[in-house]
Amino acid sequence: MDLATKAARVRSFLQDDVFRDLVEKQKQDQINVFLDPGSTLEEIDEARRHVRAIEGLLGQMRDVLTEAKIHESKTKKRG
């Protein structure tokens, strides 16, 4: 898949209300584990890993958009 197509698909995910709501709910569920005084250290560690994974995925998605913008900018300068 070319970069422009990939960026367009990523952009549509990041702008999709359902996707954003699901991601936010998943993050909030994990944060609630942090805040629950009854959570074990293992549960807190697992919740931390989940939040980091979510943030990592979103970061990679934003990286695709950034890479596409850079590529587009370089292409415009050449053309």
Q: What is the pTM of this model?
A: 0.86
- Please state, in angstroms and as integers, the Cα–Cα distance from residue 42 to each residue in 7, 34, 45, 46, following that order: 37, 11, 5, 6
DSSP, residue by residue, 14-79: HH-HHHHHHHHHHHHHHHHHHH-TT--HHHHHHHHHHHHHHHHHHHHHHHHHHHHHHHHHHHHHH-
**Domain ranges within the chain, ordered by starting residue:** 3-74
pLDDT truncated to tens, each residue of the chain (79 aa)? 999 999 999 999 999 999 999 999 999 999 999 999 999 999 999 999 999 999 999 999 999 999 999 998 888 887 6
How many residues can be counted in the chain?
A: 79
